[in-house]
Amino acid sequence: MSAIDEGAHLRAADRPNPVGFLDGRDLLERDLLRLWQGRDGNLLDRISHYALVPAGKMLRPLLVLESARCVGGRPEGLARPALALEYLHVSTLVHDDIIDEDDMRRGRPSVQAAFGLASAIVAGDGLLLETFAALTDAPPEDVPAEAVVALVNTTAEAGLSVCRGQLMETELVGDLDCGVERYLAMAGLKTGALFEASCRAGAILGGAPREWIDALGGFGSRLGVAFQIRDDLLAFDGPLALIGKPQESDLHNHRPTLPILLAYQRASAADRERLERAFHEDQPVEKSYAVVSEVLEATGARAAAGEVAAGLIRQAKDRLAALPAGESVLALAEIADYAARRRF
Amino acid sequence: MSAIDEGAHLRAADRPNPVGFLDGRDLLERDLLRLWQGRDGNLLDRISHYALVPAGKMLRPLLVLESARCVGGRPEGLARPALALEYLHVSTLVHDDIIDEDDMRRGRPSVQAAFGLASAIVAGDGLLLETFAALTDAPPEDVPAEAVVALVNTTAEAGLSVCRGQLMETELVGDLDCGVERYLAMAGLKTGALFEASCRAGAILGGAPREWIDALGGFGSRLGVAFQIRDDLLAFDGPLALIGKPQESDLHNHRPTLPILLAYQRASAADRERLERAFHEDQPVEKSYAVVSEVLEATGARAAAGEVAAGLIRQAKDRLAALPAGESVLALAEIADYAARRRF
């Protein structure tokens, strides 16, 4: 799977009407702009600014805010720690683009294409460090120091999971037979862990008891994996020309994604061979794409992968039952529904 | 200046009798081995382990421990947060080696030479995250949560300074005329900031009042810059064959270091031209090295750079006067003396 790139989808010409929670996103983007305004005095801040703005969907900070609200936390002063989770996410995008040699990100040159390899490595490090600076610089006054310590630990451990997932992904490269279970474990680390941490972070900031923190964590981890599967599916959601460069990356880099793994499991011997050739041989990506799309359709693997995502979303929403009913629980459910069906 | 590589010096054949504080280092290495023992279950931990062990001099965690002790802190439970500062340092080494294309580190293949570029990027990120996990996972019971929050913030801000210093260094590449002041500002960010943070971290963990934290911070920042200058000088401390590959890196990468900048300032027009040729033209590094060594000697720039370092060490030790006298203040002074004269 390629690193999830939300901004490009947001600006897609065929974008449907924005769903409700995107209003919250716009407020967060305003906070982001305010916090980074004038921070252009040195090269590190300029590159970080470039990487962060224009922002993507900012799902992770949105999850922080809605999770805090739904356990009764006051939203004042939460934008800064919420955005810290976005910094961590963007840090992984900056470094992923080096690893994948992706020159485009969110419709413009990626950091390493714009500033070079050395600066991109350092800027990714800077955004990781910015995460922990933002979590501890001026925590909201009504959040006890013990909660801030827990917040830092949760975030650092989630970041470590992302790293483990990234390395596990490199171990799966080229392996069409690695199996659904290993893919799900990898997606759980690479994408699920940060969604989970975002929800846990919000719950911690909101002063939630352990039970609610865990319920929101369980919601987030399943949501994250479902989100990743939808991202895998989006790569085959239309003509290649429309989908654009970033989505070619998985195929180009021989990374097995869930739809491809399911297709491989279900395919006839002849189709398995075609998949293997498309996946392993250095043929033009257009040709591989056409073959893979065809086998996905023939095997029903697209629908099957969609069903796995939908199942995870149902499980995620079940976790919300442990929480007090209210507007924010509805907002979280709405984000989950969006993740299950999103086309952008 | 190349990233400071302490392990290689430690194993140099002509190593003098170890100075006293290295006993503390050996205890820290034992803690490091204990903490990482058995952590080999996944690729991330294996690579991190490879990067951390065998350890270098571990000056940064030593500074944490001695700073904590000298303000009256109890040493129990401090090894883990102290080693967190080492994780941050080693993270920068792993990423530096990618940027500098250095294939050797501490006498064996660097992480990117041993595991590849992608894994080295991710492992460096992992060590950064490990820093903040270690600071917050199980802080000593007698350290209040407010102090842990301050510790995380101090460490994150120092990491950001290191990143700023690294980018500033890339801006100075090839610039023999950038001046001593800009070099010192860069070294203050790239090396001084983490030495400063280590001392501050120890003082915070030891429960010191603001005045002592600042005194120790002032000690650490000056010590760090002096340490960096000695590192620059070590590159010209003997025949090239003895000094080995890492020290070639500055010359190879056209980075101005303090001795070279001072030589350029003091050189005759003819020698300036020779320095420029040695610095800019892609000639064999042996030839550049011989020319630069000669001009350093002729201009007295080596002695002058040594004098700058010695002056910083004097300033650093002056800062210790603000602290209560005791064994740990003597240990810090000993580390400072060692930094001023070290030949390994």
CATH number at residue B56: 1.10.600.10
Q: Token match 């992302």: residue?
A: A162
Is the pLDDT at B251 greater than 90? The verdict is no
How many Cβ pairs closer than 8 A exist between chain A and B?
146
- Interchain CB distance below 8 Å, A160 and B117: no
Cβ atoms of A107 and A11 within 8 Å: the answer is yes
Residues with Cβ within 8 Å of residue A155, at least 6 apart in sequence: A84, A85, A88, A131, A132, A135, A197, A201, B132
Annotate B277-324 with DSSP letters as a single string: HHHHS---HHHHHHHHHHHHHHHTHHHHHHHHHHHHHHHHHHHGGGSP
Overall average pLDDT of the A150-160 stretch: 98
State whether residue B36 is helix, strand or coil: helix
Residues with Cβ within 8 Å of residue B256, at least 6 apart in sequence: B172, B173, B174, B175, B176, B178, B183, B264, B279
Taking the CA of residue B226 as centre, how many other CA atoms within 13 Å lie in the half-sphere pointing to its CB? Answer: 27
Q: What does DSSP assign to residue A191?
A: I
Within-domain flag for B92: yes
Within-domain flag for B56: yes
Within-domain flag for A1: no
Cβ atoms of A131 and A162 within 8 Å: the answer is no
Query: Of the candidates B88, B102, B94, which has an alpha carbon nearest to the alpha carbon of residue B255?
Result: B102
Tokens of A241: 């020309």
Lowest mean pLDDT among A18-22, A157-161, B41-45, B67-71: A18-22
Q: What is the pLDDT of residue A20?
A: 60
- Confidence band, pLDDT 50/70/90 cuts, at residue B8: very low
**Cβ-nearest to A125 among B47, B95, B139:** B95
- Interchain CB distance below 8 Å, B130 and A171: no
- Report which of residues B342 and B141 the model is more confident about: B141
Is the pLDDT at A275 greater than 50? The verdict is yes
Q: What is the pLDDT of residue A185?
A: 98
The span from the CA of A93 to the CA of A110, in Å, is 9
Query: Of the candidates A148, A21, A18, which has an alpha carbon nearest to the alpha carbon of residue A80?
Result: A148
State whether residue B220 is helix, strand or coil: helix
Residues with Cβ within 8 Å of residue A304, at least 6 apart in sequence: A259, A262, A266
Work out whether the CA dihedral B18, B19, B24, B25 comes out positive or negative: negative
% of chain B surpassing 90 pLDDT: 75
- Confidence band, pLDDT 50/70/90 cuts, at residue B237: confident
* Other beta carbons within 10 Å of A16: 10
- Interchain CB distance below 8 Å, A43 and B171: yes
Q: What is the pLDDT of residue B20?
A: 60
State whether residue A37 is helix, strand or coil: coil
- Interchain CB distance below 8 Å, A168 and B42: yes
In which element (H, E) is residue A104 found?
Answer: strand A104-105
- Interchain CB distance below 8 Å, A133 and B171: no
Instruction: Tell me the shortest Cα–Cα distance from A304 to chain B, in angstroms.
Output: 30
Strand partners, B108: B105
State whether residue A282 is helix, strand or coil: coil
**Cβ-nearest to A44 among B128, B146, B163:** B163
- Interchain CB distance below 8 Å, B125 and A124: yes
Q: Token match 């031209």: residue?
A: B273
**Cβ-nearest to B163 among A125, A132, A144:** A125
* Residue ranges making up the domain that contains A103: 6-341
How many domains are contained in chain A?
1
Cβ atoms of B129 and B182 within 8 Å: the answer is no
**Cβ-nearest to B133 among A117, A137, A157:** A157
Amino acid in the structure at residue A301: A
Is the pLDDT at B1 greater than 70? The verdict is no
Q: What is the pLDDT of residue B10?
A: 38
Does A121 lie at the interface with B, CB-CB under 8 angstroms?
yes
- Interchain CB distance below 8 Å, B126 and A155: no
Cβ atoms of A305 and A239 within 8 Å: the answer is no
Beta strands in B47-175 (DSSP E): 104-105, 108-109
Alpha carbon of A242 to those of A18, A248, A297: distances in Å? 20, 11, 19
**pLDDT averaged over every residue in chain A:** 89
- Confidence band, pLDDT 50/70/90 cuts, at residue A123: very high
Instruction: Tell me the shortest Cα–Cα distance from A290 to chain B, in angstroms.
Output: 29
State whether residue A147 is helix, strand or coil: helix
The span from the CA of A209 to the CA of A234, in Å, is 37
Cβ atoms of A172 and A186 within 8 Å: the answer is yes
Expressed in percent and rounded to 5, the helix, strand and coil fractions of chain A are 75, 0, 25
Tokens of A276: 């293997």
Is the pLDDT at A245 greater than 80? The verdict is no
Interface list for A 37-56 with B (CB within 8 A): 42-44, 47
Within-domain flag for B132: yes
- Which of B46, B88, B130, B132 best probes binding to A when mutated, by most A CB atoms within 10 angstroms? B132
The span from the CA of A187 to the CA of A180, in Å, is 10
Amino acid in the structure at residue B130: E
Amino acid in the structure at residue A57: K
- Confidence band, pLDDT 50/70/90 cuts, at residue B63: very high
- Interchain CB distance below 8 Å, A144 and B149: no
Cβ atoms of A229 and A332 within 8 Å: the answer is no
Does B117 lie at the interface with A, CB-CB under 8 angstroms?
yes
| Beta-strand pair B104-105/A108-109 | unpaired
Does A303 lie at the interface with B, CB-CB under 8 angstroms?
no
Checking ipTM against 0.90, whether it exceeds it is yes
Within-domain flag for B1: no
Within-domain flag for B97: yes
- Interchain CB distance below 8 Å, B168 and A43: yes
| Beta-strand pair A104-105/A108-109 | antiparallel
Interface list for B 144-203 with A (CB within 8 A): 144-146, 148-150, 152-153, 155-157, 159-160, 163-164, 166-168, 170-171
- Interchain CB distance below 8 Å, B152 and A152: yes
Q: What does DSSP assign to residue B191?
A: I
pLDDT tens, position by position, B143-184: 999 999 999 999 999 999 999 999 999 999 999 999 999 999
Is the pLDDT at A51 greater than 70? The verdict is yes
Q: What is the pLDDT of residue A253?
A: 81
Lowest mean pLDDT among A139-153, A163-177, B329-343: B329-343
- Report which of residues A5 and B322 the model is more confident about: B322
**Cβ-nearest to B153 among A99, A133, A155:** A133
| Beta-strand pair B108-109/A104-105 | unpaired
Alpha carbon of B189 to those of B128, B183, B224: distances in Å? 17, 10, 9
| Angle, helices B145-172/B117-136, rounded to nearest 10 degrees | 150
Identify all chain A residues contacting B92, using CB atoms and an 8 Å cutoff.
125
Instruction: Tell me the shortest Cα–Cα distance from A156 to chain B, in angstroms.
Output: 5
Residues with Cβ within 8 Å of residue A132, at least 6 apart in sequence: A84, A152, A155, A156, B132, B152, B153, B155, B156
Tokens of A317: 């929403």
